[in-house]
Structure 1
Amino acid sequence: MPSTPTTPPSRVVLVEDHDMVAEAIGLALERAEGITVVARARSIAEALAETRLHRPDVVVLDRRLPDGDGIGAIRDLSVTGARVLVLTGEATTSVATRVAEAGGAGLVLKSSRLEELETAVRQVAAGEVAFGPGLLAGVLDRLTGRVRGAGTSLTAREQETLGLLANGASTDEIGARLGVTRNTVRNHVQRILDKLGARSKLEAVAIARREGLVD
């Protein structure tokens, strides 16, 4: 009798800089039926190199890497035809929307069970999305403009100011970096607080991080 054609396994590049986490995920995916890990990377630069070399079906991408925010690398990683599944410690609608807007195919919490990650990899490899029902509804709302996310009304200068605040810069340091006066910086900060609904700089940074506006 002729043999039944078998579907080749989905090839995965795993991008994770923490060795213990990467080992656990890698072992789980290797044991999963229909999935094979072809390479591991510890940074965005390594991820781009390994993806170009191996042409995987899926890139499982940690969001926070030594050389930047993984979401910013999604478009470049997707050029090879790979679909990108992002791993994150905090899955909010804003972060999920950023992933979707960048061309990512899904978002999985690091605290999820390994079986959930395996399922998400299979979904993404099959051309589906893997955001989870709650997140997906929020992403669709944002992408269709029915909900305005926190921070969407920030000007470019206010976004710069917020980024410097998140890095711990003082009013004088922000003024020096942006080439503006202390009063101008204070005005920028006050508008940021108003737009984010925050009562302090610290709360504004916390909201911005939660919403994926800053790293």
Structure 2
Amino acid sequence: MPPTPTPQAPADTVPRSADGRITILLVEDHDMVAEAIRLALDRTDDLLVVGRSLSLRDALTDAARLRPAVVVLDRRLPDGDGIPAIAALKAAARGTRVLVLTGEGSPAVAAQVTEAGGAGLILKAGNLAELQNGVRLVAAGEPAFSKGLLGGALDRLTGRTTAPGAALTPRERETLLLLGDGLGSAEISRRLGVALNTTRNHVQRVLEKLGARSQLEAVVVARREGLLP
């Protein structure tokens, strides 16, 4: 009688550690923050940090090598915004779920995470227990969002609310990006190849559409709403 084949795990199932803990790849470039998060996760009985990446590029390699159950991904990394990299991380380690960490969150950012295939968004300002529980939730296939973000994200995704900045024209978005780089009206005019008065009009409309009273406030609002990296 031929031997009975050994059942194979589905391709999208990521195994836990040998002792049954949820394996985690931490993507965070700041040493002190990474160490605090690692200690908070490792001190539990069911969570285990198996690796740390300093950049998105390293994270893709490490995810493919380690195949963690969960990637805890800092949004702002030296080589870019983490949200657009979610799909690539999931492709690198099939079955891996991605939980994003951010210093500033909003329903708009939460909606971006969801649209990109992320499983959740946790604010760094929250307590470490929230992060621990978030990892457990996403490992179990559930969403994990800091308080107030999930409902707003669903509203954005279903069109029940209009995101700040949705009415910006392409040229106004260009203007906003340059404001985010710290440029003044004169330099923006030169970059865009338009008259200074035209640029001032663009800036004023950006402020009005974002509900901001100053260029600095417009940049703060835009970052909070995910309009700027």
TM-score (norm: length of structure 2): 0.86
Deviations 1:66-123 (A, max 9, x none): 1112112112112123211111112221221111121111111112222211110010
Q: CA–CA distance in 2 between the matches of 1:180 and 1:101?
A: 35
Q: CA–CA distance in 2 between the matches of 1:194 and 1:113?
A: 35
Q: CA–CA distance in 2 between the matches of 1:126 and 1:120?
A: 10
- AA at the equivalent of 1:107: L
- Please say which of residues 123-132 and 93-102 is displaced more in the overlay: 93-102
Q: CA–CA distance in 2 between the matches of 1:197 and 1:15?
A: 34
| 1:62-73 to 2 correspondences below 5 Å | 62-73=74-85
Moved over 3 A (4+): none
Q: CA–CA distance in 1 between the matches of 2:170 and 2:46?
A: 45
- AA at the equivalent of 2:65: L
Aligned residues: 210
Which stretches in structure 1 are left out of the alignment for 5+ residues? Answer: 1-5
Once the two structures are aligned, what percentage of the paired residues are identical?
A: 60
Helix, strand or coil at the partner of 1:39: strand
Which stretches in structure 2 are left out of the alignment for 5+ residues? Answer: 1-17
Deviations 1:159-185 (A, max 9, x none): 111011011112221122222222321
How far did residue 13 of structure 1 move?
0.5
Matched, 1:121 2:147: no
Residue of structure 2 in register with 1:214 after alignment: 228
TM-score (norm: length of structure 1): 0.91
Are the aligned partners of 2:105 and 2:225 in contact in 1 as well (CA < 8 Å)?
Answer: no
Q: CA–CA distance in 2 between the matches of 1:134 and 1:201?
A: 27
- AA at the equivalent of 2:193: G
Helix, strand or coil at the partner of 1:49: helix
Matched, 1:195 2:209: yes
Are the aligned partners of 2:123 and 2:146 in contact in 1 as well (CA < 8 Å)?
Answer: no
Residue of structure 2 in register with 1:164 after alignment: 178
- Please say which of residues 107-116 and 14-23 is displaced more in the overlay: 107-116
How far did residue 187 of structure 1 move?
2.3
Helix, strand or coil at the partner of 1:36: strand
Helix, strand or coil at the partner of 1:33: coil
How far did residue 139 of structure 1 move?
0.7
- AA at the equivalent of 1:208: A
1:173 to 184, 187, 190: 187
Residue of structure 2 in register with 1:92 after alignment: 106
Helix, strand or coil at the partner of 1:60: strand
| 1:33-48 to 2 correspondences below 5 Å | 33-48=45-60
Are the aligned partners of 2:137 and 2:143 in contact in 1 as well (CA < 8 Å)?
Answer: yes
